[in-house]
Chain A
C-alpha cells in the first residue's frame, strides 16, 4: 500500500479534534450573553420568551469531528427560540435583536444572510467567528431566519437543524476513514480556493461533506486503511455525479446538485449556481484535475512520484517521501549508531 504513513501524518497535521479551551470559553460567554440579554430585548419589542426557552444547539464540523486547521476558526451554534412566525414576519428585526443581545466591544457582530456572526480579533486579525443561525420554533415546525439586515429579500425558511445533525452524525461518527476523507476533501477545497474572496464561489463544506458521504468508497487491505485509494475513488464518485447542459452559446456547463437530506430539502449548491454559472465549471475543473492527479498517484509505481501527485491535490503539508533510489541507497549504507 502506498503512502500509508504519509496520509496518517497528514491527517494528524490538519485535524482539529475538539474545541480549544480558548474557543470554548468564548463560546460559553457568548451563549450566556444570549440567554441573559435576548429575553429582555425581545420583551422590549413585546415578544415574551423565558431564558429557559432558548435552546443553543452545537452544529457543524465540530459536532462530527471533521474540523480541519484553517486561518479562521469557524464555529456554528444554532439559536432556537419559540416564536410565532406569522406574528413576526420580519426576520431582519428578530436577527437584529439577537445582534443587539451580543454586540459588545469584545466581538464584532454582523448580520449575515443565514445567521448572525460574532467575530473575534487579535492584533487586528480575525481568528474566530461563531455563526449563530437563528431558528424559530413555531408549533411543530422550525424555521430559519434568512435575510441580510437591509435586504428586501428575507423570509422564514422551514428547517430541521437537529435532523441534519443526526443525519451527519449517524453517517460519520464511527467511520474513521470517511471522517478522514471528508477532512482531506475540505483541505483540497481550502488549498484550491485559497485565493477566493467571494462567499458563493467556494463549494460549501456542507455540500462537500454530503457528497463525500454519498460517494464514500471504503478501502483497506491487510496492511490497514488505504486512504489514497479511498480518496481517489470517493472524489471520482463525486466527479461522476456532475451532469452537463449547454448554455445559450452552446457551451458545455457542468453542474452538480445535492439536496439537504432534511427540510427544506433545498439544493446546497443553489447559491453557488445562482451567483455565477462559471463557479460550477471551476468546481468541476478543479475536482477533475484532483481526480487525475490522484489516479496517477494510484497507478504510478514509485511512492515518491505518487506522493508528488498527492501533494498537488492536498498542498505542501502533505509530505512527499524521499526518492526510492536515494532512500534505498541511504538505507544500504546506513550505519547503526551506538554509543
Chain B
C-alpha cells in the first residue's frame, strides 16, 4: 500500500496536499500535519510527523523547537513543529514493514491527541526537565548536588564562569578548592541564599511551557497548596523557620514521578523585606520566578541511574594493593557506589605496567596510589580517595580498623596476607574482609570472604587436616608448582605474563561478591575460584578445623 492509502484507511484523517509520494499533508482533529513516510530503501528509517502552522500552546510531545520555512521550495512556507511519537531508540524499525511503521505512527499520534488531562500531566512530567530548561532564563547552568532528596536543606552556592553549583551544605566536593593559575576555580557565592525543597506529591505540578510561565502562584501551590499537600509537614515546618539573609533566593525543587527523579532550580526575585521567613517570602514577597537551566549531578543520583546500591556510598573501603588488580578494583568500586576509599601501596608505576593498569599511559614513574587518587576523583567530585604511598604494616592496619567498613586485599604476597590475617583474627574484626589474588600464569584467581566472627580464615588455606603448614591449597595451577616453597601468586611485585582478561573477570566476581555480602546472602566464610570457564565456590576443605589461627589449634 502507499502511504496515502494507509492514511486514507483512517476515518479520522482527511488527506490534504500531496507533495510527493511519501510527503503529504493531512488533517486530524482539526489540526494540520505534515507526514513524511519512512524511506523504502532505508529499513532503519521511520515515519515523521510535523504539526503545521498551529500554536497549540500546551501539549506534551509537540516540541517547542519549531522550524520556520519562509521561502518554500520543497515545503510550503509556514511553521513546522516536530511531534515526538517515539521514545528514543524504543523501536527496532528494521523489523517492521513499511505499512506497520505508518500504522504504528498514526496510531500513536491519535493516542497522543486523545490524551486526558491526567495523561497529559504525566507526559509533561516525564519530560519535565526538557521543558524547564527550554524556558530557562540567562546563560548560567545550575549543577545540583544533593545529599538526600527527602528533606529541606540549605545549599551552598559556587560560581565558576557560567556554571553555578548548588550543593547541599553537608556535601564536600573534592574539587571545590581547586585553583587555576593561582585563582580559585569555584567562588563561594553569598549574594543569594539557596534552599532545597522536596516535593512529595507532584500532582498538578507542570513545567513551564508555551503559553504557561511560572509565577508566584505556582510556588504558592507547591508550598501552600489548597487541596493537595505537595510537601511534607516536616518540610513545611522547616520552611517556616528558615530566615533567608538575602533579598532574592535560589530554590531547588526535587520531584519523583513514576519514571523520573528530577531537580530543578529557580531564581525567586523578592521585595526587600528583612526578617521574613522563607515561607513568608514565598507567600508574600515574590516579584518574579525565573527558571534556571538545571542539571542534577550528585553521586547518589548518577548511581541510581545505573541501579547501584545507594547504601554503599557511606561505606569506607580499605584497599590494600594498587597493582594491576587493585587499579581495576578501585576503578570499579567508585563506579559501583563506593565513594570513599583509602588505598595503600608503596609502588610506583613503571612502563611495563602500562598495559594492565586501569589508567594507561598516565603517571609513569609516579606513586600508584597518588595517580589513582587523581584519576578516581576526576570521575566525580564526591569521590574521596585517601592515598597512602606506603606499605601497609600491622600497626597501620590496627589503626585503620577503627573506621573501616570493608577491607579488600589485592596483594599477592602470601606472607603479607598471612600476617594481616593474624591481626584481623586477633582483633575479631566484625566487618567484611576480602582477599583477592591471582595465580601466576594468569589463568586462575580467587576471592576469599572472611567475617572473623565465623570459622575460616586465610591461614586455613595454608593448613592441612593435621594442622601442618602447607602451600596454598587453593592453587589450581599445579604445573607451575614452585620448587622452593616460595609462593609467587601473581599480583604485586611479580611480573608474570598475563593480560587483562583475568583482571576483568576477577573484578567482576568481586563486585558480585560485594553485592551478595550487602544483601546478607553470604552467610559463611567462603572461598571463590575464578577459572577460565566458571566462577564458583571452591571444593577444597574450608574452613580448616585444624587451623592454627582460627581453628582448634589456635593458641
Interface positions of A (Cβ within 8 A of B): 13, 16-23, 69-70, 73, 127-128, 316-317, 319, 322, 326, 329-330, 333-335, 337
Contact of B111 with A by CB under 8 A: yes
A128 with B226: in contact, given A316-B117, A317-B118, A319-B119 (CB under 8 Å)? yes
Do B91 and A333 touch (CB < 8 A)?
yes
Interface residues of B in 218-236 (CB under 8 A from A): 224-229, 233, 236
CB distance from A74 to the nearest CB of B (A): 10
Do B203 and A13 touch (CB < 8 A)?
yes
Q: In the bound complex, how far is the Cα of B118 from the Cα of A62, in angstroms?
A: 24
Additional A-B contact list (13), CB under 8 Å, known A20-B228, A21-B225:
A20-B227, A70-B227, A73-B226, A73-B227, A316-B118, A317-B116, A326-B104, A330-B90, A333-B91, A333-B95, A335-B92, A337-B88, A337-B90
Contact partners of B104 in chain A: CB under 8 A: 326, 329-330
Do B118 and A23 touch (CB < 8 A)?
no
CB distance from B238 to the nearest CB of A (A): 12
> Which of chain B's residues has its CB closest to A12's CB?
B203
Do A335 and B117 touch (CB < 8 A)?
no
CB distance from B142 to the nearest CB of A (A): 24
Q: In the bound complex, how far is the Cα of B104 from the Cα of A329, in angstroms?
A: 9
Contact partners of A70 in chain B: CB under 8 A: 227
Q: In the bound complex, how far is the Cα of B201 from the Cα of A16, in angstroms?
A: 10
Q: In the bound complex, how far is the Cα of B111 from the Cα of A23, in angstroms?
A: 38
> Which of chain A's residues has its CB closest to B279's CB?
A21
Contact of B43 with A by CB under 8 A: no
CB distance from B281 to the nearest CB of A (A): 16
Contact of B89 with A by CB under 8 A: yes
CB distance from A320 to the nearest CB of B (A): 9
Q: In the bound complex, how far is the Cα of B119 from the Cα of A16, in angstroms?
A: 19
A330 with B91: in contact, given A316-B116, A319-B119 (CB under 8 Å)? yes
Q: In the bound complex, how far is the Cα of B91 from the Cα of A16, in angstroms?
A: 38
Do B89 and A335 touch (CB < 8 A)?
yes
Q: In the bound complex, how far is the Cα of B117 from the Cα of A17, in angstroms?
A: 21
Task: Tally chain B residues at the interface, Cβ within 8 Å.
Answer: 25
Contact partners of B95 in chain A: CB under 8 A: 333
Contact partners of B88 in chain A: CB under 8 A: 337
Contact of B518 with A by CB under 8 A: no
Q: Tell which of B92, B100, B111, B226 has the most Cβ of chain A within 10 Å.
A: B226
Do A13 and B118 touch (CB < 8 A)?
yes
CB distance from A190 to the nearest CB of B (A): 14
Contact partners of B482 in chain A: CB under 8 A: none
Do B92 and A17 touch (CB < 8 A)?
no
Q: In the bound complex, how far is the Cα of B46 from the Cα of A333, in angstroms?
A: 13
Contact partners of A330 in chain B: CB under 8 A: 90-91, 104
Q: In the bound complex, how far is the Cα of B230 from the Cα of A16, in angstroms?
A: 11
Do A20 and B116 touch (CB < 8 A)?
no
Contact partners of B541 in chain A: CB under 8 A: none
Contact partners of B226 in chain A: CB under 8 A: 20, 22-23, 73, 127-128
> Which of chain B's residues has its CB closest to A21's CB?
B236
Contact of B178 with A by CB under 8 A: no
Do A319 and B118 touch (CB < 8 A)?
yes
Do B90 and A16 touch (CB < 8 A)?
no
Q: In the bound complex, how far is the Cα of B225 from the Cα of A319, in angstroms?
A: 25
Do B92 and A22 touch (CB < 8 A)?
no
CB distance from B179 to the nearest CB of A (A): 34
CB distance from B226 to the nearest CB of A (A): 5
Q: Can you pick out 21 interface pairs between chain A and chain B where the beta carbons lie within 8 Å of each other?
A: A20-B225, A20-B227, A20-B228, A21-B224, A21-B229, A21-B233, A22-B226, A73-B227, A127-B226, A319-B116, A326-B104, A326-B107, A330-B90, A330-B91, A333-B91, A333-B92, A333-B96, A334-B91, A334-B92, A335-B90, A337-B89
Q: Tell which of A70, A73, A316 has the most Cβ of chain B within 10 Å.
A: A316
**Ranked 6 nearest A-B pairs via Cβ:** A316-B116, A337-B89, A317-B118, A20-B229, A22-B224, A335-B92
Contact partners of A319 in chain B: CB under 8 A: 116, 118-119
CB distance from B15 to the nearest CB of A (A): 23
Contact partners of A13 in chain B: CB under 8 A: 118, 203
Q: In the bound complex, how far is the Cα of B229 from the Cα of A16, in angstroms?
A: 8
> Which of chain A's residues has its CB closest to B87's CB?
A337
Contact partners of B111 in chain A: CB under 8 A: 322
CB distance from B242 to the nearest CB of A (A): 15
Do B224 and A20 touch (CB < 8 A)?
yes
- Contact flags (1/0) for B74-97 with A, using CB distance below 8 Å? 000000000000011111100110
Q: In the bound complex, how far is the Cα of B203 from the Cα of A317, in angstroms?
A: 12
Contact partners of B228 in chain A: CB under 8 A: 16, 20, 69
- Contact flags (1/0) for B109-144 with A, using CB distance below 8 Å? 001000011110000000000000000000000000
> Which of chain A's residues has its CB closest to B237's CB?
A21
Q: In the bound complex, how far is the Cα of B224 from the Cα of A330, in angstroms?
A: 42
> Which of chain B's residues has its CB closest to A316's CB?
B116
Contact partners of A317 in chain B: CB under 8 A: 116-118
Q: In the bound complex, how far is the Cα of B228 from the Cα of A128, in angstroms?
A: 13
> Which of chain B's residues has its CB closest to A315's CB?
B116
CB distance from A185 to the nearest CB of B (A): 19
Contact partners of B91 in chain A: CB under 8 A: 330, 333-335
Q: In the bound complex, how far is the Cα of B118 from the Cα of A244, in angstroms?
A: 39
A16 with B227: in contact, given A316-B116, A319-B119 (CB under 8 Å)? yes
Contact partners of A335 in chain B: CB under 8 A: 89-92
> Which of chain A's residues has its CB closest to B88's CB?
A337
CB distance from B13 to the nearest CB of A (A): 18
> Which of chain B's residues has its CB closest to A72's CB?
B227
Interface residues of B in 35-91 (CB under 8 A from A): 87-91
Q: In the bound complex, how far is the Cα of B229 from the Cα of A18, in angstroms?
A: 8
- Contact flags (1/0) for B397-420 with A, using CB distance below 8 Å? 000000000000000000000000
Q: In the bound complex, how far is the Cα of B87 from the Cα of A23, in angstroms?
A: 40
> Which of chain A's residues has its CB closest to B230's CB?
A20
A334 with B117: in contact, given A20-B227, A21-B236 (CB under 8 Å)? no
